Amino acid sequence: MIEIEGPNSYLRSEEARIHAQEKTKSSRPVHRGKVQVNNRLRRLCIKYAISETEFYDLLINQDYACAICGKGKWRGAPAKVDHNHTTGKVRGLLCNRCNLALGLIRDSPETGRAMVKYLEGDAA
């Protein structure tokens, strides 16, 4: 053990430093990211009235990909729960971009069809 003289010498000793590190490690969550994900998932399930099992079923049924673009990565953001704003029924899980696109057209199928027609070069 290395002893250091003066006030707070115990706090500066090697033994005390190791003890403090071990105590800190044991008191904090092992996986902070996992805790944050679990809290977010709980909030989503409450907000959209689905169980965690239903959320994971959606994820598995969609092959861990966005229901619209099919990309397997969530582009750094967690999956967004898409739902019908009138009925509240959950439709699927989307990536951030697809969720934003639906929001910008206000979930209008007519606007979506017009956009597809325009993109395919058949716009009037």
Residue 124 lies in a domain: no
Residue 24 lies in a domain: yes
72 plus 90 within the same structural domain: yes
Count of residues in the chain? 124
Q: Reply yes or no on whether the pLDDT at 99 is more than 70.
A: yes
Task: Give the structural domain span for 8.
Answer: 1-28
pLDDT tens-digit series, residues 28-80: 555 555 566 678 888 888 899 998 889 889 989 999 899 999 987 665 567 89
- DSSP code per residue over 33-60: HHHHHHHHHHHHHHHTT--HHHHHHHHH
What is the tally of structural domains in the chain? 2
Q: Reply yes or no on whether the pLDDT at 89 is more than 60.
A: yes
pTM above 0.85, yes or no: no
Cα R_g (the chain), whole angstroms: 25
H helices of the chain, in order, are 9-12, 14-27, 32-47, 52-61, 96-104, 109-119
20 or 66: which leads in pLDDT:
66
15 plus 56 within the same structural domain: no
> What region, left, alpha or beta, does residue 69 occupy, with left being phi > 0 and alpha being psi -120 to 50 degrees?
alpha
Q: How far apart are CA 42 and CA 107, in angstroms?
A: 25
